[in-house]
Chain A
């Protein structure tokens, strides 16, 4: 069974440019998560979807970050405009959606903002 797929794996952009990350969760997983991971730190939740509904976006910086999961499967996370401090790894995870279901993570997208 395929795991969580993310693309691109690496992205280098100039500050003030837009960037988008794509995630395809494990088939059948209703819940999708986007996390931010800074170097040497644990992942921090940005947004959680249950199907196509964003049920927890309290940690998403909405002035520059946006996300969508239009058909309840794939998801896109966008930053516009990117800032130097946005350099990090952006992780996508998915789960079946029960309270203690295991969250399965993708490999992440490493973003470098110059």
Chain B
């Protein structure tokens, strides 16, 4: 079946470096994508979102890129900090109102 998936389950990055977390999706009907951050013992926290009519969206230290041609989504975190260590999930809205489908997640570890 169609699913949201992530290329890498774990990623380690040196503090201060940039990180890129990737996500592949297979449902061409998806029109809205979200990145969530989940720290240990906490619920997912919204980071940034993007609609399918956009290719790029920037927030504070974060950028989301959407490539609809290859159905690929990425989250770039600039100048990583220890507090960025968490599991990152991409989620998609497949056209079903308010229903999000989450991927498995990537664990990002920032090395001091």
Contact = CB atoms under 8 A, between A and B. Distances in A.
B98 interface: yes
Interface residues of A, number: 24
Contacts of B51: 100
A93 B93 contact: no
B93 A105 contact: no
B contact face: mostly helix, strand, loop, or mixed: strand
A4 B46 CA distance: 13
**Which interface residue of B34, B46, B91, B97 has the most chain A CB atoms within 10 A?**
B97
Interface residues of B, number: 23
19 contacts: A40-B104, A41-B104, A42-B4, A42-B105, A43-B102, A45-B99, A48-B99, A56-B99, A91-B44, A97-B98, A100-B49, A101-B98, A102-B49, A103-B46, A103-B98, A105-B45, A106-B43, A107-B43, A108-B43
Interface of A: 4, 31, 40-45, 48, 56, 91, 93, 95, 97, 99-108
